[in-house]
Amino acid sequence: MVIHALLTEYLRRRTTARKRRRTERFISSLPPEIQKDIGWPGANGPSRRLHCNPDPSLEPTWQPR
């Protein structure tokens, strides 16, 4: 059951990251005025792409033997 729990956690984190990237793409496609109104960080400066820097928490927590 430990493997099942680890796999479930890994998949949950991947799903969360996928949703985050989808939201980023959606908000980044909005006009700059709206991005600024909602406080999106990319509206005032260079764009920041989180999907280029993978989240280290998505790595498996178990170590293969």
Q: Could you say which DSSP state residue 29 is in?
A: T
Q: Residue 41 to residues 4, 11, 34, 46: CA-CA distances in angstroms?
A: 37, 28, 12, 9
Question: SS3 helix, strand, coil % of the chain, rounded to 5?
Answer: 65, 0, 35
Q: How confident is the model at residue 65 (pLDDT cuts 50, 70, 90)?
A: low
**Residue 59's closest CA among 2, 17, 4?**
17
Residue position matching structure tokens 């293969």? 64
Stretch 22-43: mean pLDDT: 89
This prediction's pTM? 0.56
Domain ranges of the chain: 2-53
